[in-house]
Structure 1
């Protein structure tokens, strides 16, 4: 076998040298007379006098379009919606070219829009957090955090390329706000690097009866931005309210999305965009092929359709390439089959997909090859890690079609000692979850798997807003109204799983993800068959999750479980459950409701041996 390998290595080396030589010759032939091409401009013009029945605007989070007025409104002004601590976006649905990748020159653009702030009837004096921002973002599915973040970024947005011009009528010193009436320029963060007092424009953002108009002009060649603010119907002010030298190229991809983002805090208001116009110009290069290439192409076409040249002999290089490829494929198949029959794992086995695997529709889960996931996660790079625990590591992956997925790579110890029967159960569980999960919007579907004698990997949908633990324990505070909705989402999805005789098996805050509407989605499943005992384990996990959400304290570490759970029970016995509630939520919450939820969470953590009572079912 060693002699075969040496011979194979010699052939591969010779073939590689031959290919490189041909490539160098081809490069010298085609690039001797290179023409730089023709420079041109790519323009884009958007105009919306109103937004009635407009399908070019994509709404995210708590954003809506008023059909009677034709306004974009953030948050939804419906009385049924809690307007406090809401965030939303309205994005033009198609990406716009804003960067020339060859010269790294940002596009020049101008935009103007009319907007109005309206204080709601249920508003009260608080720490604020209201504001609207014009944004340039890399995707059309991310919604930032409410409050002073203005929906621009959230804790899950790492290395997130975003440019924003904010119109903020709240004052948060932690974000460097100069006052509660200002305009700011934000680069990849909710903190403005430069601000101006908007009251100097004679158009204070605190006037509910005023329709404002903003003009933003950016010159990509001069790297200069100017922002004007006035009253709708007036001419552009003679002097900009805010201007600055600014190079946007580090924050831009070649194609970006443009639109608006807004949020509310303790003091709620409706942010309305009445009209919008946007115009951009970016440089591009039209590659003009050399004249001899054109002549070669014409000659090739003539020979292709010429009767005299239809029967032509293949070149010696083509014959050599075919024979060499046939030899390599035959040798590797023999080598891989011999290894498989002996039971040893071989990395060469990953070169070819399983011949028995049948094509499946894109919407159906499928078996992935290890090399596909290896490339998708950039060799399982640490930069792509989303979360990790003792069971494995969760990575972000990018498929060849550009779609993001979440890739859970289980540790080798997780399935090391499983028997063939246990493996059958694991695969059966994957099949059961795959069949039932798509039926519920709060359960993450499995997109595929990779199971062999070396790796166990599960592929899920990717959620840009990240996992719940990053929102609970990161910078900022989730309001109680949002926490309560998340608890309900988790309870409903667990109840659905149990009704199908399935369990989650790995319930914790890092296994709960937030979709584009900030709804809870359960994912990162454990892979053991469902039973009565494992259902009760899910109930216990739900109780601990409730404690985390209400108290704002981690319970994942073993040494902390007794402390948090014991403290909650001690406060329950003393009738002082209010001491368990996250003090960062302040007074903007339903205290009675929070205490009731805490009591339900404690009941879910009861030991099964308790006399008279035990853990309830999720349906109960």
Structure 2
């Protein structure tokens, strides 16, 4: 009887919620509202330093010519094999995601190729004032107008024209219209005077236009003007080339760009040099885009949506449905009352006959498990997620561990760090103590720390499961993928300092700080992961803690210098140690020379020098004034002035090796 009662109640609720009659002519409002036109227009009659143009790599604003110039001849003695970009600082809407409709746009720009042959340059250091380039007169690599998904990546030099690099995978979305003055047969170039349309991650042009057929010589030293117009509705592109007085149509045809566009993209120019060199100048630029967007009307569940419903139509629908719905509700209520009386009668009779039969047991309460709480994983789970530790799943490895990309059953991507068994035995490490520290670190949560999902300690396996960070580690962005702008680099230094300060406040140390342990999430925010977890099997716990914390500070100092310089500690010419170089430049009061030149003119010199000084301070001997991470944060945030550094390099820096968390080969007496 109880089941029957519940069944009837469900029917009534469904009847009340569901309309009893639907008019075939009734219109259900669509999710999208009115279609509007989104327009964007930018205009640069010439170029000045204070404009909204981001300069990356070897690119500058020439104050002499009021132009974008690639490469930067004011900083480089040898301008071969350089690449640069000039990107408009704000993204442009170029795709309507619901309809996959590309925007229409028009752009025009004037440019000139200037040969470096027989050209004399005066370099900033005053040396080689009569230096003459020996490039042939047939020019170097060209330049391109680009539409790209980000504003900080620079491509390869040479025939790649600064468009693509090793980070551009098969799904990389980009569009480039190249103006090439070198013939590269391997890329299908017809000659050294052509225009190409490049789509996606391919440097091979999908459309190639021979400029000579139009009587145009791109490398004749004159100022050329290009007009590019694209009709997104028709999928049709036109390219004109020439001068203001003589405009020639050199290409027109169908072209669907929707597959190569995100909703918002960045636009600008890229150029490069190879063995052959030339200066690429862009003197003026105009760009206008027009895209369609549908305004979304509020959901039917919101009060605001009632404003959009026609009052007359609403009244007709209400009148049409009122009588039958009300009648059915009335009938249902009568039936429910009748059934309730019957149920009460029969239930009372049963209770009177055998009152002990009805026993209500309290429901057992189960404590809900927090969704992000770290947990123990079985070896089977880990093995399945990594496809039995398949080689293709490997993200990286070192002498301690191998890290795999894994996909859990719930669809989440994670990074699985599997410690090597021989690592524990060869270094005399206490596996249980390492496991204990892994669990302790797992409880820590901070916006700038990679969360630990859990662990697996099974059959001599020691495995840590992290959140997967999609943009990879910092070292790939500093040393190969592209050029991170200064604003992002400073944020990286600041974020790592915040993460370490928080860890140290909990008396925990990272023990493995280096660029490959810093990761960039989808918004390029720095998060610190890949903890060391390594504790020696003997010695005072307090001693270990002190050494680990101060060693973290030392490694942070080295990391800060690497971020500013854009190079690995040991990757300098002739194997020059970055720390040695930084102290040497400090002695000469030339610290600014350590700054990565590839970032162009958008660096804030005072801020960069401040980071260098903080880095040097962190690498001093502990008893000579090495700060705590809490103090480092105050230095970076201008809350406290930086103590004066010694004029000359300290006699012995604290050469801590974070591999084992030990003072290997050095005296640690000052910490006892």
- The equivalent of 1:113 in structure 2 is 109
User: Structure 2 CA distance, aligned partners of 1:325 and 1:70?
Assistant: 74
- The equivalent of 1:256 in structure 2 is 265
Q: 2:255 aligns with which of 237, 246, 251?
A: 246
Question: Alpha-carbon deviation of 1:349?
Answer: 7.6
- The equivalent of 2:157 in structure 1 is 146
2:48 is aligned with 1:49: no
- The equivalent of 2:530 in structure 1 is 409
User: Structure 2 CA distance, aligned partners of 1:66 and 1:514?
Assistant: 16
Asked if structure 1 preserves the Cα contact closer than 8 Å seen for 2:58 and 2:597, the reply is: no
- The equivalent of 2:175 in structure 1 is 163
Q: 1:198 aligns with which of 197, 205, 211?
A: 211
Q: 1:84 aligns with which of 80, 86, 105?
A: 80
- The equivalent of 2:187 in structure 1 is 175
Question: Alpha-carbon deviation of 1:395?
Answer: 7.5
- The equivalent of 2:284 in structure 1 is 275
User: Structure 1 CA distance, aligned partners of 2:135 and 2:180?
Assistant: 17
2:513 is aligned with 1:426: no
User: Structure 2 CA distance, aligned partners of 1:166 and 1:178?
Assistant: 13
User: Structure 1 CA distance, aligned partners of 2:575 and 2:600?
Assistant: 12
- Judged with a 3 Å threshold, the aligned counterparts in structure 2 of structure 1 residues 236 and 417 are, in CA distance, closer, same or farther, namely farther
- Judged with a 3 Å threshold, the aligned counterparts in structure 2 of structure 1 residues 41 and 496 are, in CA distance, closer, same or farther, namely same
Question: Alpha-carbon deviation of 1:267?
Answer: 2.0
Question: Alpha-carbon deviation of 1:278?
Answer: 0.4
- The equivalent of 2:573 in structure 1 is 487
- The equivalent of 1:37 in structure 2 is 33
- Judged with a 3 Å threshold, the aligned counterparts in structure 2 of structure 1 residues 218 and 194 are, in CA distance, closer, same or farther, namely same
User: Structure 2 CA distance, aligned partners of 1:494 and 1:116?
Assistant: 42
- Judged with a 3 Å threshold, the aligned counterparts in structure 2 of structure 1 residues 74 and 378 are, in CA distance, closer, same or farther, namely farther
Asked if structure 2 preserves the Cα contact closer than 8 Å seen for 1:215 and 1:228, the reply is: yes
- Rg (Cα) greater in structure: 2
Asked if structure 1 preserves the Cα contact closer than 8 Å seen for 2:139 and 2:219, the reply is: no
Question: Alpha-carbon deviation of 1:415?
Answer: 5.3
Q: Partner of 2:237: helix, strand, or coil?
A: strand
2:65 is aligned with 1:69: yes
2:224 is aligned with 1:212: yes
Q: Partner of 1:228: helix, strand, or coil?
A: strand
Q: Partner of 1:111: helix, strand, or coil?
A: strand
User: Structure 1 CA distance, aligned partners of 2:518 and 2:203?
Assistant: 24
Can you list the C-alpha shifts for 1:533-579, whole angstroms capped at 9, x where unaligned? 995999xxxxxxxxxxxxxxxxxxxxxxxxxxxxxxxxxxxxxxxxx
Asked if structure 1 preserves the Cα contact closer than 8 Å seen for 2:471 and 2:524, the reply is: no
Moved more, 153-162 or 42-51: 153-162
Asked if structure 2 preserves the Cα contact closer than 8 Å seen for 1:113 and 1:214, the reply is: yes
Q: Partner of 2:56: helix, strand, or coil?
A: strand
Q: 2:92 aligns with which of 96, 119, 135?
A: 96
Q: 2:452 aligns with which of 356, 359, 370?
A: 370
- Judged with a 3 Å threshold, the aligned counterparts in structure 2 of structure 1 residues 72 and 393 are, in CA distance, closer, same or farther, namely closer
User: Structure 1 CA distance, aligned partners of 2:267 and 2:251?
Assistant: 20
2:133 is aligned with 1:133: no
Q: Partner of 1:430: helix, strand, or coil?
A: helix
Question: Alpha-carbon deviation of 1:344?
Answer: 7.7
Q: Partner of 2:186: helix, strand, or coil?
A: helix
Q: 1:59 aligns with which of 45, 55, 58?
A: 55
Asked if structure 1 preserves the Cα contact closer than 8 Å seen for 2:87 and 2:269, the reply is: yes
Can you list the C-alpha shifts for 1:102-152, whole angstroms capped at 9, x where unaligned? 222221111111111111222423996410100011111111111111111
User: Structure 1 CA distance, aligned partners of 2:237 and 2:466?
Assistant: 37
RMSD between superposed Cα atoms in Å: 5.2
- Judged with a 3 Å threshold, the aligned counterparts in structure 2 of structure 1 residues 514 and 427 are, in CA distance, closer, same or farther, namely farther
User: Structure 2 CA distance, aligned partners of 1:343 and 1:195?
Assistant: 60
Alignment of 1:216-615 (within 5 A): 216-231=228-243, 233-237=244-248, 240-289=249-298, 293-294=302-303, 353=444, 369-370=451-452, 379-380=467-468, 384=472, 394=516, 397-399=519-521, 402-405=523-526, 409=530, 420=541, 421-422=543-544, 424-434=546-556, 438=560, 440=561, 442-443=562-563, 486-487=572-573, 491-496=577-582, 516=599
Asked if structure 2 preserves the Cα contact closer than 8 Å seen for 1:74 and 1:263, the reply is: yes
Q: Partner of 2:146: helix, strand, or coil?
A: strand
Structure 1 spans left out of the alignment, 5+ residues: 1-20, 26-31, 299-323, 337-341, 446-462, 470-482, 501-512, 539-607, 609-620
Q: Partner of 2:79: helix, strand, or coil?
A: coil
Can you list the C-alpha shifts for 1:3-31, whole angstroms capped at 9, x where unaligned? xxxxxxxxxxxxxxxxxx9xxx9xxxxxx
Moved more, 103-112 or 415-424: 415-424
- Judged with a 3 Å threshold, the aligned counterparts in structure 2 of structure 1 residues 418 and 115 are, in CA distance, closer, same or farther, namely farther
Asked if structure 1 preserves the Cα contact closer than 8 Å seen for 2:471 and 2:519, the reply is: no
User: Structure 1 CA distance, aligned partners of 2:517 and 2:173?
Assistant: 20
- Judged with a 3 Å threshold, the aligned counterparts in structure 2 of structure 1 residues 70 and 266 are, in CA distance, closer, same or farther, namely same
Q: Partner of 2:196: helix, strand, or coil?
A: strand
User: Structure 2 CA distance, aligned partners of 1:367 and 1:202?
Assistant: 60
- The equivalent of 2:346 in structure 1 is none
User: Structure 2 CA distance, aligned partners of 1:82 and 1:284?
Assistant: 48
TM-score, normalised to structure 2, is 0.50
Q: Partner of 1:37: helix, strand, or coil?
A: strand
User: Structure 2 CA distance, aligned partners of 1:39 and 1:74?
Assistant: 41
Question: Alpha-carbon deviation of 1:204?
Answer: 0.8
Question: Alpha-carbon deviation of 1:203?
Answer: 1.7
TM-score, normalised to structure 1, is 0.54
